[in-house]
A and B are shown apart, each in its own frame.
Chain A
Amino acid sequence: MRIFSGQQAFVLQRLSALVLLAFTAAAALRLGFGAPVSLEQWQAWAAQPAAAALLLLLAAALLVHAWVGTRDVVLDYVHPLLLRLSILSLVGVALALLGAWTAFVLVTHAL
């Protein structure tokens, strides 16, 4: 698989979509049919290493999906190279910071 062929983004977009779909279905079932849970109970659940790992996977899938989607929109609409690089850099840095912050919160909470 060539990194810049477009196939990598195509595969990542679909894999991350599957993760997001599975999580959305699970969340809908839990919130729709499960007993109401307090904030403290959610925090306790998220503090378990397995739950934190799941949430990290969800965050990673969300960020990857957002990156590929934004990149596609930029490749389609933004043709001047400098503007394109600027937007992609800004989005990339923003998503990376968001991911790092999410990971920090989840890991410190779970430890």
Chain B
Amino acid sequence: MRFRIYRFDPEKDRKPYFADYELEPHPSDRKVLDALTRLKEQDDSIAYRRSCREGVCGSDAMNINGRNMLACITPLEGLREPVTLAPLPGFPVIRDLVVDMTQFFAHYHATQPWLQNGEPPPERERLQSPAEREKLDGLYECILCACCSGFCPSYWWNPDKFLGPAALLQAERFVADSRDRAGAERLEALDDVYKLYRCRTIMNCTEVCPKGLSPARAIERIKLALLRRSA
């Protein structure tokens, strides 16, 4: 198989370039990450992140043939050649396929992604009805791989101000939680022309989410909650 890999080492290269590689995949190589691991045996200077190798940690998010995906769960079979691997678009590149996630996680932290409830804790746990619990489906599964934010034009244009689909999905996860008591403060903090309303419902986030989630729907729910609050 033929591969084209984005290469950039700020200590050596003046500007990024694409390097071509040939690889005869081993019969057991099924995913892009398997191929990357073999390519690194050829050229150990290739830099990329990976950890769990099974689509849970979100470390190996990258742009594969123009689409943000997790290398560990993207099958090699059927990929157009040369398979082009590039870092997540819109993110500052540290080296090769490794991007700087500082801003991304700063936005995530800004949403205060933890349960806030000042009421005295019950003896066992804070209970939810099945219907209340169901509201969290499609929200709690996010692995923060950044495939969505890295495919969102609104995030490319204002990465420092727009929270991006991943952080907003996490925000909705706590706004929608019946056990949380900070919903009003959370909505107040989100009610901002940049933080939330830069979303133009382009829906690239929903299109590329490797977990099949819909950040676009979560963002619409936040907007509707704000509307109900204003009404």
Instruction: List residues of chain A with CB under 8 Å of any chain B CB.
Output: 1-2, 4-7, 9-11, 72, 75-77
A2 to B191 alpha-carbon distance, docked (Å): 8
| B residues contacting the other copy or chain, number (CB 8 A) | 15
A75 to B198 alpha-carbon distance, docked (Å): 9
Instruction: List residues of chain B with CB under 8 Å of any chain A CB.
Output: 154, 157-158, 191-194, 196-198, 200, 223, 226-227, 230
Given the interface contacts A76-B154, A76-B157, A77-B157, does A7 sit within 8 Å of B198 by beta carbon?
no
A2 to B189 alpha-carbon distance, docked (Å): 12
Q: Which residues of A contact B194 (CB under 8 A)?
A: 6, 75
A-B contact count (CB 8 A): 34
Contact present for B227 and A6 (CB under 8 Å): no
Q: Which residues of A contact B200 (CB under 8 A)?
A: 72
Cβ-neighbour of B191 out of A5, A76, A77 (below 8 A): A5
Which interface residue of B194, B196, B197, B223 has the most chain A CB atoms within 10 A?
A: B197
Q: Which residues of B contact A6 (CB under 8 A)?
A: 191-194, 196-197
Contact present for A9 and B154 (CB under 8 Å): no
Which interface residue of A4, A6, A10, A72 has the most chain B CB atoms within 10 A?
A: A6
A102 to B196 alpha-carbon distance, docked (Å): 34
> Can you list 9 A-B contacts with CB-CB less than 8 angstroms, sorted by A residue number?
A2-B191, A4-B193, A5-B192, A5-B197, A7-B230, A9-B197, A75-B193, A75-B198, A76-B158
Contact present for B223 and A10 (CB under 8 Å): yes
Q: Is the interface of A mostly helix, strand, loop or mixed?
A: helix
A7 to B154 alpha-carbon distance, docked (Å): 17
- Least Cβ distance of A89 to chain B in Å? 18
Cβ-neighbour of A9 out of B158, B193, B227 (below 8 A): B193
Contact present for A7 and B226 (CB under 8 Å): yes
**In this complex, what residue of B is CB-closest to A11?**
B227
A76 to B154 alpha-carbon distance, docked (Å): 7
- Least Cβ distance of B162 to chain A in Å? 9
Given contacts A1-B230, A5-B192, A75-B158, 6 further A-B contacts (CB under 8 A): A5-B197, A6-B197, A7-B197, A7-B223, A75-B194, A76-B198
A57 to B158 alpha-carbon distance, docked (Å): 34
Q: Which residues of B contact A10 (CB under 8 A)?
A: 197, 223
